[in-house]
């Protein structure tokens, strides 16, 4: 499936009848099974319905970092993002891609 950023934003966990999606580098993961983390009130709820690439790379929970942009990240931050991506791949199914 292909999602625009707008469409992805609807899968943010606020509607219990819908899955929860988080994107990394444009790949959309179904993180519904991790709803205690990504659902409302969860530690990573601000990532739900968004591409959280930059925030994951920077290990940041700042709203301004929840963006797909990886421009200007250090090698260490890219490595951290790669690690997060591997964890997501092992744990959550990929359900689509974010398109512009």
As averages over each run of 10 residues, the pLDDT of the chain (100 residues) reads: 97 96 98 95 96 97 96 97 97 96
| pTM of the entire predicted model | 0.95
Residue 1 has a pLDDT of 96
Closest CA to 31 of 84, 99, 83: 84
Residue 100 has a pLDDT of 81
Beta bridge partners of residue 98, listed in sequence order: 3
2-98: which CATH architecture? Roll (3.10)
Residue 84 has a pLDDT of 97
Output the CA torsion sign for 41, 46, 50, 53: negative
Residue 29 has a pLDDT of 98
Residue 75 has a pLDDT of 97
Q: Which residues contact 16 (CB under 8 A, 6 or more apart)?
A: none
* Long-range contacts of 86-90, Cβ-Cβ distance < 8 Å, separation of 24 or more: 88/22, 88/24, 88/29, 88/31
């Amino acid at each position: 499936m292909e999602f625009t950023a707008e469409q992805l934003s609807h899968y943010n966990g606020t509607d219990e009848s819908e899955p929860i999606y988080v994107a990394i580098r444009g790949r959309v993961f179904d993180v519904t099974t991790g709803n205690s983390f990504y659902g409302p009130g969860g530690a990573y709820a601000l990532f739900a319905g968004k591409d959280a690439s930059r925030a994951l790379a920077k290990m940041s929970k700042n709203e301004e970092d929840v963006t797909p942009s990886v421009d200007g990240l250090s090698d260490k931050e890219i490595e951290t993002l790669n690690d997060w991506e591997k964890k997501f791949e092992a744990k959550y199914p990929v359900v689509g891609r974010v398109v512009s």
